[in-house]
Amino acid sequence: MIEARGLEEVSIGDYVLSGGEIAAMALIDACVRLLPGVMGKLASGTEESFSEGLLEYPQYTRPQEFEGRQIPEILISGDHAKVAAWRLAQSEALTAVRRPDLWARKAGQKAAPRGTKNTTDG
């Protein structure tokens, strides 16, 4: 049926949904956000999950303490280079733990981040 109409099959992941509406909404959202101006600032989508083959680093906002949890000091230090390094390290660690398939592709033979198992060692 797909070939007869010249259509392209698209997968949004390996799971079962209750109907096609949710999948259609996810696909529409993924496409629309690529249009200029949809997300506000041009740079809004440049550091999201998968933009560099890694999951996105944790996000923090105000207040600086919430329910006894503090924003990491490095994020309020004003040192942009250290913040960037922290974000990269967090992205690498999250990707290695939650998506070893992405980590293996991104890291190749690179050692796993501290505190994680190297998933490329077999």
List the domains of the chain with CATH numbers.
1-40 (no CATH), 47-122 (1.10.1270.20)
What pLDDT score does 121 carry?
44
8 A C-beta contact, residue 103 and residue 96? yes
What pLDDT score does 122 carry?
41
Q: Give me the half-sphere count of Cα atoms (radius 13 Å) on the Cβ side of residue 34.
A: 5
Q: 19-77: per-residue pLDDT in tens?
A: 999 999 999 998 998 888 887 776 666 666 666 788 889 988 889 888 999 999 999 99
Picking from 4-18, 77-91, 105-119, which range would have the lowest pLDDT averaged per residue? 105-119
Task: Between 82 and 42, name the one with better pLDDT.
Answer: 82
Q: What sign results for the dihedral spanned by CA atoms 108, 109, 111, 116?
A: positive
Degrees to nearest 5, angle at CA 63 with 58 and 65: 75
Euclidean distance between CA atoms 56 and 71, whole angstroms? 17
Q: How much is the pTM?
A: 0.61
Q: Give the pair of three-digit tokens for residue 16.
A: 């079962």
**What is the pLDDT confidence band of residue 116, given thresholds at 50, 70 and 90?**
low
